[in-house]
Structure 1
Amino acid sequence: MRLVLFPFGLLVFFIGMYLMRQGLSSIWEQSIKHFLYRVTATPLRGLLLGAGATAVMQSSSAVTVITMGMIDGKLLPWASGLGIILGTNIGTCTTAQFLSIHLESYWWLISLSGLLISLKYSWKSYGFPLIGLGIVLGSMSIMTWSVQYLQHLWRLNQSISILEGVLWGLVITAIIQSSSAFMVMIIALGVNGVIGLEQAFPLILGSNLGTCVTAGLASIGGSPGSRKIFYSHLLLNLLGIFAFLPLLPALYPLLTTLTSDPGKQIAAGHTLYNVICSVAALPFTRLFASFLSKLPPIDRQSSFN
């Protein structure tokens, strides 16, 4: 019966994320669009902006779709979007890092603070993010409690390979359309000893790949530039996975020396992977853009396409 609460906790998580996103978007979305246009002169600026915008909006998919929309509207050269896409992979780590510091016990206080702000000042956009954050933390408690007994029933440690883990991460993230929600699930399983780092990390790799599905859907019927962003997102994540696989045996001992907390180990691994892959790819964005523009299936009509 306890496991039945897991999908309920996941639903609560989505409600909380929706409230956070609505509040933060109403405050920052127009500014983010403005800065996407003004502050992407170099790939590094794009990366920093993409990371910051994703951290604020709590959705790498939202920032990716906004970027693709601006490219479709010829407000942004498609090559400038590469740095932003790399930054979204870093910005999406903030949710996992925040949830790993175990503030679940204070969910009601955070939500109540947001509610009081909304009632007192009638600034719902400022109160909603706090209400949503409290609900997200409460959902973490529900999901963590609901999977506790699985450590006695589910021997996932012996039943999943790296490839299977990547595929599961890809499929689940593509279905639920939220890498943040999937990271909550992975952390909950890790905290309760259901999975270890060796099983969690392939799921993380697959989750990064699963976020490309949203960009793929958004590129349907779009301009050649938005399709290039989708292909870039997909190829860069694939290259990151293949480049990182040989490093996994050395990564696990490093993470265990950093902290003994399984949740923090998983969050730290998630952050290290995304930061290393994005920073490593950054110097080659212009070369990558040039290569991608020469591929036959992609129409090259102008520098904005």
Structure 2
Amino acid sequence: MEIDVQSLLFEFFGGLGIFLLGIKYMGEGLQKTAGDRLKDILDKFTSNPFMGVLAGIVVTVLLQTSTGTTVLAVGLVNAGFMTLRQSIGVIMGANVGTTVTAFIIGIKIEEYALPIVAVGALMLFFFKNQKLQNYGQTIFGFGALFFGLNLMGSGLYPLRYLEAFHELTIEMSGNPFLGVVIGTVFTFVVQSSSGTIGILQNLLGQGLMDLDAAMPVLFGNNIGTTITAVIASIGASIAARRAALTHVIFNLIGATVILLLIHPYTVLIASIRDGLGLNAEMTIAFAHGIFNVANLIIFFPFIGLLAYLVTKLIPGEDSVIDFKPTHLDPIFIQQSPAVALDQAREEIIRMGEYAYKGLEETALFLNNHQTKHADNAFQIENALNKLDREITDYLVQLSVAQLSDSDSERHSALIDSVRDIERIGDHFENVVELIQFKISNKIIITEDAKEDLNKMIDLTNLTVKEAIESLSEMDRVKALEVVKHETQIDRMEKSFRKKHIIRLNEGKCSGSSGIVFVDILSNLERIGDHALNIAEEVLGEKIPETVH
């Protein structure tokens, strides 16, 4: 029989595209339906490795991609929101969660794919309610997944008449290593382990491949899915690179062990298939599921050892910020509100020291353009946001307690100070983003403008440092220094703006560089305002505009 290569390629790759789009749409719909709180799930429910595993499973089912969950975990480690040990549990759970897609495929409802797509599309286009639209997106993705599978199947069908393909599958049956390489490479290229498994289920379902040939490809799939996480960790923090390496070790050792036991494992899966009367698609789903669950059970007791191993393989001190509060003990709220206020103040001072560190990283990024300083600044800003929520919640709970008049005033002052420090983080984040914009768009800032920026950022950093120190020591002298320096910052901003207009008129700088320059000045001036607010809380009075 003559094979129409064009139709084969068009149907296979078109089907694969629709299949991957279906998985993406279904995952996004589920994610929106769940309230788009995936980071919160990982953040709040990873207190121990077991909870991390459960969180990894849940998030992967919602995202419909283990790679996505692993990349998310690496990002959270990089941001300091998750420890290495917590991320290992999440990564293990992600490997189990991804097997759900294979079981969905095993249901075999391809003949209903188009009506399901139609229902989803109707809900997307004819319902205004956001919740119904989210359900519609999930249903549309679900139908597209099966429609894509059906198209892939049609494209692959002619391969049964191709002698070279038969020879390849026979070779894979006798040489498992070849199957592993094919599975690894294809998963990396497609960037979806579910995509590889869907193809594998199709090939087995059409009798184009036997179980002996399919098993090594399945295990290669588990190795290929780690590569994306490795790419995501390039240039990230040491902790993030360790998390990605853990994923590689976990999947690589698991696949290696099972390859050594490939024959008995294939016999086990064949007996389960025959005993339960499974179709080919569901057989692959069971093979995938049992492997990942077994891998999890075997490795779970060694999470500590894995963390130790990757720490030795990737040595060095990591700059991860500890975003968790260290002073906010809820027991003081009822028993001793005055002590609770002191604890909250200590946490706010710690938060303020982080804000100053963030400004230092921003200044370094302005001058040397090294990405690590931008990453550190973003990491600190994330920590400030988290501490802001935790401290504010603590102070809100404390407001219910019986406070003296002086403690009530301190309470209000602390709430205001938390807000000011959090806003400092927002502004230095804006400055970092402006510098990134300057770099990516190859915008040149003149030496005079750069010198002005450095003067202002140095003075701003000093002012923030003095504001935090004045709050820490309740030092009026330092608070008055903040007032004086904030006045200088305001004058600097006006003076540097005028100098910029002169440079612009003389053609020394471009309009785009001017926009970046002025926006950075504006953000630094606002940081000075927030430092002044903190100093005013120490002084116990508002400083009139005419004074500063």
* TM score, norm. by length of structure 1: 0.94
**Shift in Å, 1:241:** 1.3
Mapped contact 1:225–1:304 kept (Cα < 8 A): no
Equivalent residue number for residue 309 of structure 2:
291
- Does 2:169 match 1:163? no
Mapped contact 1:140–1:188 kept (Cα < 8 A): yes
Equivalent residue number for residue 220 of structure 1:
234
Q: Distance in 2 between matches of 1:234 and 1:92?
A: 16
Equivalent residue number for residue 8 of structure 2:
3
- Deviation readout 1:5-37 (Å, 9 max, x if unpaired): 111111111222232233223334742211211
- Does 2:96 match 1:90? yes
Q: Distance in 2 between matches of 1:237 and 1:18?
A: 23
* RMSD of aligned alpha carbons: 1.8
Deviates more, 1:40-49 or 1:13-22: 13-22
- Deviation readout 1:193-229 (Å, 9 max, x if unpaired): 1111111111111111111111011101101111001
- Does 2:163 match 1:150? no
- Does 2:141 match 1:132? yes
Equivalent residue number for residue 42 of structure 2:
36
Instruction: Give unmatched runs, 5+ long, in structure 1.
Output: none
Identity %: 29
Mapped contact 2:187–2:193 kept (Cα < 8 A): yes
Equivalent residue number for residue 71 of structure 2:
65
Mapped contact 1:54–1:60 kept (Cα < 8 A): yes
Q: Distance in 2 between matches of 1:25 and 1:148?
A: 35
For residues 1-305 of structure 1, the aligned pairs below 5 Å read: 1=4, 2-4=7-9, 5-28=11-34, 30-118=36-124, 119-123=126-130, 124-153=133-162, 154-155=165-166, 156-160=168-172, 161-260=175-274, 261-295=279-313, 297-301=314-318
Deviates more, 1:103-112 or 1:21-30: 21-30
Q: Distance in 2 between matches of 1:245 and 1:178?
A: 22
Amino acid corresponding to residue 299 of structure 1 in structure 2: G
Aligned residues: 304
Q: Distance in 1 between matches of 2:79 and 2:320?
A: 13
Equivalent residue number for residue 382 of structure 2:
none
Instruction: Give unmatched runs, 5+ long, in structure 2.
Output: 323-548
**Shift in Å, 1:60:** 0.9
**Cα distance change on mapping 1:244 and 1:29 into 2, 3 Å:** farther
Deviates more, 1:182-191 or 1:152-161: 152-161
Higher relative contact order (CA 8 A, sep 6+): 1
Amino acid corresponding to residue 195 of structure 1 in structure 2: M
Amino acid corresponding to residue 247 of structure 2 in structure 1: H
**Shift in Å, 1:303:** 7.5
Q: Distance in 2 between matches of 1:27 and 1:78?
A: 29
**Shift in Å, 1:106:** 1.2
**Shift in Å, 1:288:** 1.5
Asked which structure has the greater CA Rg, the reply is: 2
**Shift in Å, 1:120:** 2.7
Q: Distance in 2 between matches of 1:235 and 1:253?
A: 26
**Shift in Å, 1:255:** 1.8
Q: Distance in 2 between matches of 1:8 and 1:301?
A: 44
Q: Distance in 2 between matches of 1:136 and 1:127?
A: 14
Mapped contact 2:24–2:64 kept (Cα < 8 A): no
Deviates more, 1:120-129 or 1:182-191: 120-129
Mapped contact 1:77–1:303 kept (Cα < 8 A): no
Mapped contact 1:48–1:87 kept (Cα < 8 A): yes
Amino acid corresponding to residue 3 of structure 1 in structure 2: L
3-state DSSP of counterpart to 2:118: helix
**Shift in Å, 1:252:** 1.8
Q: Distance in 2 between matches of 1:198 and 1:28?
A: 39
Amino acid corresponding to residue 277 of structure 1 in structure 2: N
- Deviation readout 1:157-211 (Å, 9 max, x if unpaired): 3222211111111111111111111111111111111111111111111111111
3-state DSSP of counterpart to 2:82: coil
**Shift in Å, 1:302:** 6.4
Q: Distance in 1 between matches of 2:205 and 2:59?
A: 29
Mapped contact 1:99–1:184 kept (Cα < 8 A): yes
Deviates more, 1:157-166 or 1:129-138: 157-166
Amino acid corresponding to residue 286 of structure 1 in structure 2: G
Equivalent residue number for residue 332 of structure 2:
none
Mapped contact 2:215–2:266 kept (Cα < 8 A): no
Amino acid corresponding to residue 229 of structure 2 in structure 1: A
- Deviation readout 1:121-147 (Å, 9 max, x if unpaired): 432222111101101101111111222
**Shift in Å, 1:55:** 1.0
**Shift in Å, 1:51:** 1.1
Mapped contact 1:71–1:304 kept (Cα < 8 A): no
- Deviation readout 1:44-94 (Å, 9 max, x if unpaired): 111111011101110111111111111111111122100000011111111
Amino acid corresponding to residue 242 of structure 2 in structure 1: K
**Cα distance change on mapping 1:206 and 1:113 into 2, 3 Å:** same
Q: Distance in 1 between matches of 2:270 and 2:287?
A: 10
**Cα distance change on mapping 1:304 and 1:94 into 2, 3 Å:** farther
3-state DSSP of counterpart to 2:37: helix
Q: Distance in 1 between matches of 2:158 and 2:36?
A: 46
* TM score, norm. by length of structure 2: 0.53
Amino acid corresponding to residue 127 of structure 1 in structure 2: G
Deviates more, 1:243-252 or 1:196-205: 243-252
